[in-house]
Every structure is written in structure tokens, then in C-alpha cells.
Amino acid sequence: MTLTARRIDHILQDKTLSAPLQAIAEKILNDERITPEEGQLLFEKGELGYLGALANYQREKRHGNRTYFNRNFHVEPTNVCLYTCTFCSYSRLIKKREEGWEYSLEDILDIVKKYDGEPVTEVHIVGGVLPQYDVKFYTELFKAIKKHRPDLHVKALTPVEYHYIFKKDKVTYEEGMRIMKEAGLDSMPGGGAEIFHPEIRDQIAGGKCSGEQWLRIHEIWHELGMRSNATMLYGHIERFEHRIDHLEKLRQLQDKTGGFQTFIPLKFRNQDNQMSHVPESTVVEDMRNYAISRLYLDNFDHIKAYWPMIGRNVAQMLLSFGVDDIDGTIDDTTKIYSMAGSEEQTPAMSTRDLVNLIRRVGREPIERDTLYNVIQDYTDHVFEEDEQFKGYTALPVVN
């Protein structure tokens, strides 16, 4: 029996644990699917140590100590948006548009060209919604990026933008996604999902695509043989039942298409937006939420902690709570979280920083491309700078 399985065995022997929580632990040990009711119980009653042991068991069963990252940069074409999502620090700028930015196609290409010769593998493009950014703009953009650098993976836009531009240009979702694929779109990021349930979605993200429309656009994309990610914006006005509803809908679609690669829980940050009065979730609630996501989404290969949002230290801890991916180098190219109050005001990490962040908690850093093909295993890699730096001895991580 492995160490993590032995830990679960201890849970099963724990006489103070309620029978339903014991039954769930047994299911996890036997790789059986948990029900929405059991998921709800985990949110209500699962304490941190119990959830962590179960989620880590599943994490290590799937990936051992392997922990993925990539080398990427973001382009946010604009931080002005027609929509007024109450959690978003971008939405307030529509009233004072001159304070924001609105990049042209050439501006964006100039940003992409700054990375010529750099070993980045992915550009992540997402931003506000404005009328000038339409089907023509984005197809020309994707084609131009691909022409300039064919090997750069274009991970771009969410159903929020696609729904808006397809409606404006009177194309169906099916036609629209085909056009995007032909123009060079490689995959879709997970944004815009927020909370699917209309009771919450109407309050925090009214007017933009519904939960059903978000799911449908991903489904169509998967039917074209393509991959995408999924997110959930948690820790604001939703209740546990809304989180379970969200996870359940993703699990059902994944059963159908298998097209999702990774799930990214996004912690609500409360600075400079219309929900600044709503307190942020505690670190304990964050960790419980990641662990339950790992347990519930049994058909998702990866759970990602997006370090610019959750912070580097918590990202390190989450590697023992179900997470096996911490996204990328970013290079200070996203403002979504710094504007919303994240500790990471200038998010950028060198490959060495990322590798060491992973290694120092006893995990194995693996550089991947967007589709999780392994680019380099950094487990035993020695960076020149580390050879010169003799002052620190890493203490062993006790497993």
C-alpha cells in the first residue's frame, strides 16, 4: 500500500468520522464517482485534513509528484468592457474609456513580436468586450499571429466574446467556431464560466452569455476535435449548492466530449470592483475548494492553481491538495488580477523561479505545452545560478 493510500486507510479507521464521510473516503479509494449530494456534504462537513488526504491521493494516483507549468504570455486587447460584471475591475472603465487601453491588430502583433526568439509556447488572449473586436478582427489577428510564428499556440477568447461576436455578425455558434479554427485558434481558455447557476450568474454577470451558452460553445469546440479549459469563480455570493451545480454541469459535458483538459478554480478578489464589500474567502476555504474540485471532477486530468491569482505560497500548498499544474511564466502580461487586488502586482516568474517553487515542496517540475505534451522534465535540472548559490540547503519535505 502506498503512503497516500495508507493515509486514507487511517481515515477509514477513524472512529470519530461520520459514516457518510467514511463512505465517501471508501469511494475515493476505490475510484468510484461521488454524487452531487456527497459533494455538497464535502463542502459542508469535510475538514481540511480529510479533504487534503483524499485529494492528494487522487492527485498522486494520476500524476505522482509531476507538476506541470508552461512558458506563456498574455495579451489583453482591451481592459474596457461593455458588460458590467460586478466582480470585474475592468467593467467600471466603460464610463471613463480614455483611462483604459484599446489595442489595434498592429499593437497586438508588436507584443507578440517582442517574444521572437524567446522559448514561449503559448499566447493567452482574453480581455474586455467592445464592438470593434469582431469576427473579422479576431480572424485576422489569429491568421497574422500564425503567419508570424506558426508554432505559437493561440489560446484565445471565451464563450463570452464568441457569443457576442457571432450574434453581432449573425453566424451560428457552429459556423463561428469553425471559422475560428480555420483562422488558427488552437484552444480555448476556461474564462467566462463564473457560476453557471442563473440565480447567481444574473446578479454578478448579467447580460453576458448564459451558463448553457458557455457550455454549448465548448461542446461545439470539442466536437471539432479541439481542447479547452474550464474555470469557476468562487468565494463571493454563491452558496455551496451553486458550486456543486457548476461542477456537475462540467462533469456531465466532459463525460460527453472529453474535451476539457484542466479545471481552474478562480478565487474572487475584491479590490476596485462593485463587490468590494464582499469579503474574500479564507485560505482554508480556498484549499477545501480545490480539494473538492479534484475529487468531484473525476474525468478531468488536471487541476490548475493559477499563481497570479492565488499567490505563490498558497499555490505551493495546493500541490498537496489536488493541484498538479500552476500555469506559466506570464511575464507580467495580465492585469485582471493585479487590478482586482491580488498580491501579485507584476506577475512574472522565470522558468527557474517556477521550477524551484515546485521543487522546494518535493514535487517534480515538468514543462508542458498547452496540450500537456512534455517539453522538458526539470526534476534533476541544475540552473547555472543555483550552482553558484551555495547559501541555502533545502530541507526535505516529509511525505
Which residues sit at the interface with ligand SF4, rule CB under 6 A? 81, 83, 85, 88, 90-91, 128-129, 160, 205, 208
190 binds, among ligand V47, ligand SF4, none (CB under 5 to 8 A by kind): ligand V47
Phi then psi for 102, rounded to 5 degrees? -140, 100
Footprint (CB under 6 A) of ligand V47, residues 81-110: 87-89
306 binds, among ligand V47, ligand SF4, none (CB under 5 to 8 A by kind): ligand V47
Can residue 190 be called a binding residue for ligand V47 (CB under 6 A)?
A: yes
Residue 201 C-beta: closest distance to ligand SF4, Å? 11
Nearer to ligand SF4 (CB atom), residue 42 or residue 195:
195
Residues 6 or more apart whose Cβ sits within 8 Å of residue 202: none
83 binds, among ligand V47, ligand SF4, none (CB under 5 to 8 A by kind): ligand SF4
CA dist., res. 114 & res. 399, Å (int): 42
**Strand partners of residue 234:** 267
233 binds, among ligand V47, ligand SF4, none (CB under 5 to 8 A by kind): ligand V47
CA dist., res. 148 & res. 159, Å (int): 26
Which alpha helices (H) appear in the chain, and where do they start and end?
Answer: 3-13, 19-29, 36-45, 48-63, 105-113, 135-148, 159-168, 173-183, 198-204, 211-223, 240-257, 283-296, 307-310, 312-318, 351-359, 384-388
Can residue 351 be called a binding residue for ligand V47 (CB under 6 A)?
A: no
Nearer to ligand SF4 (CB atom), residue 90 or residue 103:
90
CA dist., res. 266 & res. 16, Å (int): 33
Grid cell at residue 106: 498592429
Sign of CA pseudo-dihedral 114, 116, 119, 121: positive
Nearer to ligand SF4 (CB atom), residue 58 or residue 231:
231
129 binds, among ligand V47, ligand SF4, none (CB under 5 to 8 A by kind): ligand SF4
Residue 23 C-beta: closest distance to ligand V47, Å? 34
Can residue 250 be called a binding residue for ligand V47 (CB under 6 A)?
A: no
Residue 343 C-beta: closest distance to ligand V47, Å? 13
The number of beta carbons lying within 10 Å of the beta carbon of residue 281 is: 17
Residue 286 C-beta: closest distance to ligand SF4, Å? 20
CA dist., res. 236 & res. 266, Å (int): 11
Q: Where do contacts with ligand V47 occur on this chain (CB under 6 A)? A: 87-89, 126, 189-192, 194, 229, 231, 233, 264, 266, 268-269, 273, 306, 327, 336, 340
